[in-house]
Amino acid sequence: MERFIDVTPEVRLWAEERGALDAPPLLLIMGAQTSGLGWPDELVDALAVRHRVIRYDHRDTGRSSWAFDEAPYALTELAHDATAVLDAFGIARAHVVGMSMGGMLTQLLIADHPKRMLSATLFGTSALSTAPYVRPDGTRVPPEELPGIAPHVLELWARPVEDHGLEAELDRRVEHWRALGGDELPFDAEAARDLERGIVEHTGHHTAGTAHARAGTADMLRTEQLAATDVPTLVVAAPADPLFPPPHPHHLAQAIRGARLKEIPGMGHALPHEVLAPLAAAILEHTDRH
C-alpha cells in the first residue's frame, strides 16, 4: 500500500508498506539521492515474509517533494523525516535498516530516538563518531586517517551532470552503479538499467538530484550517544565497498556499544542479486534476536 505523508508545508514524502500489518515493523532508509525503490523488490519481499516493511522516498527523490531550492535543509532533518514516516503508519518502535547516507540517518535515530528503535542494521556507511579505530594490534587510528573514497568514484562524481535525455541519464546511472559495486562480483548492467528505468517511471522524470550533496552537514557527530546506546545493532561489512572500505565497518562496530559485525563476501556499495539472499538472512537473524 502506498501513501503520502506531509512533513512540513513544503515537504511531502512518498512511502510504501508490504507484509502483514501485525508483523514487527521494519523501516528501510536508503542512501543519498536514491529513491526508496533503490531497495530491490527481491529484498523487500524477502523481509516482508516476517516483517511489515516500509520504504520511502527521501526529500528530493522519487515521488517525494523536490523542494530544496525553495526550502533548504540539513541532513539531520532527514532523520526527522524517518520518524515522521513511522508516525504516519502508527508505529511506535521499529527495526531500522540503513544503507550509506541511510546508515548515517539510522545512527542519528539510535542516538536521538532510541525509544523508536527495536534494532538497527547498518552498512555502506561510516561512524558518526570521533572515537579512534583500534586495530587488532592495539594501534589507535583517528577516523580521519581511515581509507577515503576510491579515486575512480571521486573522478566520476567530479564530472558535470548534464541532461542529454533519458537514455544518456540511464547510461550515467548504470556507470555509477558499476563504480560503486566494487570489483569482486560480476556487474549486471541490464539489471542496473532496469532498476533505474523503474525509478524514473516512478519519479515521473529523469532529472538527476543534487540536494543531498548540498544539504548542511553540521551537528552530525554522536560519539557519546553511540558509545552508550542500548539499541541492538548489526553492522554489515562490505569488503569491496569503494566508499567506506574496511576497516570502516569495524570502526563503526567499535563505535556503537554492543554492535555485532557480519561480513558479506564480495559486497560493495550496491545491492546486486548476489548479495540479497545473504543480506536478508543477516537482517532477519538480527531482528529475530530482538
List pLDDT tens digits, range 222-262. 999 999 999 999 999 999 999 999 999 999 999 999 999 99
Q: How many other C-beta atoms lie within 10 A of the C-beta of residue 91?
A: 19
From residue 213, how far is each of 172, 219, 256 by CA, in Å?
17, 16, 26
Single out the residue of 123, 121, 115 nearest to residue 99, CA to CA: 123
Grid cell, residue 214, equals: 548540498
Q: Is 163 a residue of the active site?
A: no
Q: 274: number of CA atoms within 13 Å, CB side?
A: 15
Is 152 within a domain? no
Grid cell, residue 268, equals: 560493495
For the segment 85-106, the average pLDDT, to the nearest whole number, is 98
For the segment 94-122, the average pLDDT, to the nearest whole number, is 98
pLDDT at 288: 97
pLDDT at 25: 98
Identify the active-site residue in 129, 241, 248, 251: 241
Is 174 within a domain? no
How far apart, in Å, do the first and last CA atoms of the chain sit? 26
Grid cell, residue 269, equals: 556499495
CB 54 within 8 A of CB 191: no
pLDDT at 238: 98
Is 165 within a domain? no
Q: Is 286 a residue of the active site?
A: no
pLDDT band for 33, please (50, 70, 90 cuts): very high
Which domain, by its residues, includes 218? 2-145+209-289
Identify the active-site residue in 58, 212, 269, 286: 269
Domains identified in the chain, total number: 1
Grid cell, residue 168, equals: 544518456
Q: What percent of the chain has pLDDT over 70?
A: 100
pLDDT band for 37, please (50, 70, 90 cuts): very high
Identify the active-site residue in 64, 100, 119, 129: 100
**What's the pLDDT tens digit per position in 52-69?**
999 999 999 999 999 999
Q: Is 269 a residue of the active site?
A: yes
Is 161 within a domain? no
pLDDT at 144: 96
pLDDT, averaged across the chain: 97
For the segment 133-151, the average pLDDT, to the nearest whole number, is 97
Task: Read off the CATH number of the domain in which 281 is found.
Answer: 3.40.50.1820
Grid cell, residue 131, equals: 572515537
- Chain centre to alpha carbon of residue 195: 16
